[in-house]
């Protein structure tokens, strides 16, 4: 099942993608893709619906983030062995956790802003875990029960702010628009092995990232369990799981985003995103 939210920013309605790739309206069934709707029982009720009986959404509406009500936008750093190698970093002994501002969250095809004074804005295609029920001190062997599904995320990053400005990574990760999520939430039952998904990212048609979740150091179950021992996770929370090699700062010489470029990225079975870069004005 592919769940989504469509409509203008702040006015999104819940929907699902049917077998023919058409959007069906869920607003008469659930208030939003949030809270108890993401629980195992909530998802089972949606899966039991006859999609063909739901109202068809015409045209090509904007897609918003596929979940609402997020409390924590958690990110994992240096979680791909081949990406750690391209940055010259050691393999982490434990997951590296940082937080992305909730203000960074946006739809999958919305514009990405280059911050004022930015010279090193970068791309990162990532597998996002979407939490389905409250998770606190979860054992690893139970962790998958707390996963509602998965989505594509672009962990947009300003490398100078992140690395050279004397602070934590959060400084380079939280600008408005730095967290495109979607196009939809693909429920866990449709992704039997999240550790075997191909993924890519292109800028203006040039492919920079061409990797796989096979090279993740810490897998999905480990990450959900680990993070839940440091903060309580809630329905709709997201954990982005790191990126494969091919980011801009790893190029020789480094390559960073400029105004007017098109970023296209995707993950096998989870869909694609596309953003155009613009300069932040205020």
| Domain coverage including residue 47 | 2-53
Q: Where is the domain boundary, 10, 25, 53? A: 53
Question: Would residue 171 be called left, alpha or beta, if left means φ above 0 and alpha means ψ between -120 and 50 degrees?
Answer: alpha
* CA-CA-CA-CA torsion sign (30, 35, 41, 47): positive
What 3-state class would DSSP assign to 3? Answer: strand
Residue 60 placed within a domain: no
CA dist 209 and 265 (Å) reads 9
Q: How many domains does the chain have?
A: 2
- The mean pLDDT of 191-210, rounded to a whole number, is 98
Claim to verify: residue 13 and residue 105 sit in the same structural domain: no
pLDDT of residue 166: 81
Claim to verify: residue 29 and residue 150 sit in the same structural domain: no
pLDDT of residue 168: 78
Question: Does the structure show a pLDDT above 90 at 170?
Answer: no
pLDDT of residue 21: 96
pLDDT of residue 164: 87
- The mean pLDDT of 84-95, rounded to a whole number, is 82
User: CATH number, domain at 233?
Assistant: 3.90.850.10
Q: CB under 8 Å to 117, separation ≥6 — which residues?
A: none
Residue 151 placed within a domain: yes
Claim to verify: residue 12 and residue 126 sit in the same structural domain: no
Q: Tell me the pLDDT tens digit for each residue of 106-164.
A: 999 999 999 998 999 999 999 999 999 999 999 999 999 999 999 999 999 999 999 88
Claim to verify: residue 83 and residue 38 sit in the same structural domain: no
Question: Does the structure show a pLDDT above 80 at 243?
Answer: yes
Claim to verify: residue 41 and residue 152 sit in the same structural domain: no
pLDDT of residue 88: 75
* Per-residue confidence band for 233, with pLDDT thresholds at 50, 70 and 90: very high
* Per-residue confidence band for 82, with pLDDT thresholds at 50, 70 and 90: confident
Average pLDDT value for the chain: 96
pLDDT of residue 65: 98
What percentage of the chain has pLDDT greater than the value 90? 91
Claim to verify: residue 146 and residue 186 sit in the same structural domain: yes
pTM reported for the whole predicted model = 0.96
């Amino acid at each position: 099942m592919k769940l989504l939210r469509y409509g203008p920013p702040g006015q999104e309605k819940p929907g699902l993608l049917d077998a023919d790739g058409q959007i069906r309206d869920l607003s008469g069934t659930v208030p939003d893709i949030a809270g108890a709707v993401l629980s195992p029982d909530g998802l089972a009720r949606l899966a039991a619906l006859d999609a063909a009986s739901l109202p068809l959404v015409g045209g090509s509406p904007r897609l918003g983030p596929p979940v609402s009500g997020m409390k924590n936008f958690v990110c994992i750093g240096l979680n791909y062995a081949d990406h750690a190698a391209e940055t010259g970093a050691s393999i982490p002994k434990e997951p590296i956790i940082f937080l992305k501002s909730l203000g960074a969250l946006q739809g999958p095809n919305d514009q990405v802003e280059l911050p004022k004074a930015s010279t090193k804005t970068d791309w990162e295609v990532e597998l996002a875990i979407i939490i389905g029920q409250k998770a606190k001190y979860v054992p690893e062997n139970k962790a998958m029960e707390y996963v509602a599904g998965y989505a594509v995320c672009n962990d947009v990053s300003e490398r100078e702010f992140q690395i050279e400005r004397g602070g934590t990574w959060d400084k380079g990760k939280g600008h408005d628009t730095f967290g495109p999520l979607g196009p939809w939430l693909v429920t866990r039952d449709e992704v039997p092995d999240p550790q075997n998904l191909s993924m890519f990212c292109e800028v203006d048609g040039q492919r920079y990232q061409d990797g796989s979740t096979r090279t993740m150091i810490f897998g999905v179950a480990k990450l959900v369990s680990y993070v839940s021992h440091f903060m309580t996770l809630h329905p709709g929370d997201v954990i982005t799981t790191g990126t494969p090699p091919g980011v801009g700062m790893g190029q020789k010489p480094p390559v960073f985003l400029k105004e007017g470029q098109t970023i296209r990225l995707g993950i096998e079975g989870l869909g694609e995103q596309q953003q155009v870069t613009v300069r932040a004005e205020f």
